[in-house]
Chains A and B, each alone.
Chain A
């Protein structure tokens, strides 16, 4: 995820804009939540965005889309990876993982532009489940309407040589995915 947000920030730079990215995490490596903010603009001051005012939300995990939806600007676009990772509050505690319907409803309070992506499945089909993030970036690239070649230039520079072709495939698979609802 941290590499994915670096890529988004570098795409902003490649477009000639100022860019900042910042992740918020404490015990992230140990199963906690990680949020990563990317901002582009003529001049970017704050490294973090604010609730109710971000344009695109990319959720790498299904339930997390609902946790962070309050950051999205009403009518903004949310891209949701359908993969579920059960939290400890559900595995050892009494919390229940929300249903697909409950999550979808929560997202719809803010927007109808919801793009579900089977990132892990698509990546697994391509032969490497580590490609899931690149699939999601492809989906993001589609809704952001930035020249895919700009994205690919940045991605290619970021990944080891032997994974370049795989990542290109994953990017296009994500980009060709479902249409964005209007």
Chain B
């Protein structure tokens, strides 16, 4: 049965067919949909974890206990989970364990575009790379088998373009979950308990395993040679293969489905039969350096860029420089006349009042990862630093420790509810423990909004929507010993402002403001009316434009101030009232009920 599936849908299906019993992840673009799809499949237990390290540790436990297990994460999630990956590389597995790393060339929704093939080499574990959805499904099964055959965790690396593109998949008629009996856990401390003495004994095992994996790779069906014109041999993988296949038409290809360890004999054989070896790979010169280290001459990054996502145009440009003629498609350059369409906080977003206030109070802000990273953009321009999940609290503590969180430049840390559980809690412990005096704003919108409204430990719901114990952020914060904890309604801008001022004024001890209001996409969001503008009262003061709401736009010029009056789009407005609250002339009013 042919189906059009995204890479992520195909991975979920492949995992189900391979009999995966347990899967865990923290949501992260472009990986999120894998677990969301698995959650719907009978026979699979799929859980959101508070972060990627916790996810991978529990997946390790499931594997030790004898169940095939899957962890999924975005590329930077593997940074968080890397400590687990490295001990897993030494302990190996019991039942098969696969880790999906979904990389993001082009940094479409990430803070960087790191190339996680390096993790495979670094941790000395195999890495498979599908080039389309069919391979995504097929390679998951291969990865589980490989994991069990070689007693190793296996990384399956996708990119945004592989995870999110849809392509045709031959879905087996019988694609039910294949239940597998738990493989008995045979206690073996020398394998599973990495005290130094055992770690030293396991290291040679890891090195030996890597050699055997390299041998396997030489004849593995995931690595394929397509012979053509031998004046040029293209070594490539993943989506780079897809672009190259349309650009280097008729040339010879070595398509690597396994990007680590590399099949040295196969590469040597391929290289010996072509006149020129060309490596076409997205991001880092990973293959190129490995192949050069084998003593095989090749070219790569002098023709194809190291940064940003590939495209047909980018690969064509490299091909042209290599003397392979390419069509030159005339393009009209008219786009410059079209205004940009930057992202914005949604109409009704609970974060709006906070960023309006932070801007108004001219506070310095250590930011975090979430929808609220839009606070960096106009009209807020309200975030000074932004790095990774949980970084806001650590950065604020460092600023505070060196005396820069002062009356002249008060700093605050801003973090969402889901990142608070992910990495904020240890950082808050650090603030308390080390006598910090930071103000921490926790924007609790009761969901993991950025990746599409996933549940988290604070929402009281599991991935499948079952009701569970809700972890109360206020209790957690108080439990850590913070005395000054303020809870404020995110949709009450004056209260948000007053509360932040009060918290920032506390200079000798830490304070926490929990700004609470549901994400506009949640069912619990109450929208009963819309707001409108009284154009007689409005004088174009423009304050309401500073709330950065897509529903508010500029109308006619006011006769006195010669500034545009505000208009509200009734199709977009959701009646959150933040603009109404900031209007100094009471020109905004509620319509309807």
Contact = CB atoms under 8 A, between A and B. Distances in A.
A92 B339 contact: no
A70 B164 contact: no
Given A90-B339, A96-B339, A13 B168 contact: yes
A1 B287 CA distance: 37
Nearest to B339: A95
Nearest to A9: B4
A67 B338 contact: yes
Contacts of B108: 24-26
Query: What bracket does the count of chain A residues touching chain B fall in?
Result: 35 or more
Contacts, number: 163
B334 to A, nearest CB: 4
Contact of B553 (A10, A25, A91): A91
B334 A95 contact: no
Given A66-B334, A70-B331, A95-B339, A31 B344 contact: yes
Contacts of A46: 239, 242-243, 245-246, 311-312
B378 A93 contact: yes
Nearest to B316: A50
A87 B239 contact: no
Interface string B331-358: 1111101111111111000000000000
Contacts of B333: 70
B340 A70 contact: no
Interface in B143-202: 161, 164-168
B554 A90 contact: yes
Contacts of B569: 86
Contacts of A109: 332, 334
User: Which of B316, B335, B452, B546 counts the most A-chain CB atoms under 10 A from its CB?
Assistant: B335
Contacts of B550: 31, 86, 88, 91
Interface string A31-58: 1110000000000111111111100000
B339 to A, nearest CB: 4
A86 B552 CA distance: 10
B341 A49 contact: no
B408 interface: no
Interface in B518-551: 545-546, 548-550
A50 B311 contact: yes
A19 interface: yes
Contact of A30 (B335, B371, B546): B371
A29 B166 CA distance: 19
Interface in B220-245: 239, 241-243, 245
Q: Please tell me the size bucket of the interface on B.
A: 35 or more
A118 interface: no
B374 interface: yes
B334 A21 contact: no
A63 interface: yes
A174 B327 CA distance: 35
A27 B343 contact: yes
B342 A87 contact: yes
B109 A20 contact: no
Contact of B165 (A22, A29, A67): A22
Contacts of B344: 30-31, 88
B122 interface: no
Nearest to B2: A13
Nearest to B109: A26
Contacts of B246: 45-46
A172 B64 CA distance: 58
B169 to A, nearest CB: 11
A106 interface: yes
Contacts of A95: 339-340
A92 B243 contact: no
Contact of A19 (B168, B335, B345): B168
Interface in A123-141: none
A29 B246 CA distance: 32
A50 B378 contact: no
B42 interface: no
A69 interface: yes
Interface in B543-593: 545-546, 548-550, 552-554, 569
Interface of A: 6, 9-10, 13, 18-33, 44-53, 63-64, 66-70, 73-74, 86-93, 95-98, 102, 106, 109-110
8 contacts: A26-B343, A47-B242, A51-B313, A51-B331, A87-B341, A90-B553, A92-B378, A96-B339
Given A87-B340, A91-B550, 4 more contacts: A22-B161, A30-B344, A47-B239, A98-B337
Interface of B: 2, 4, 108-109, 132, 161, 164-168, 239, 241-243, 245-246, 311-313, 316, 327, 329-335, 337-346, 371, 374, 378-379, 452, 545-546, 548-550, 552-554, 569
List of 5 A-B pairs having minimum Cβ-Cβ separation, nearest first: A52-B329, A27-B343, A95-B339, A22-B165, A47-B165
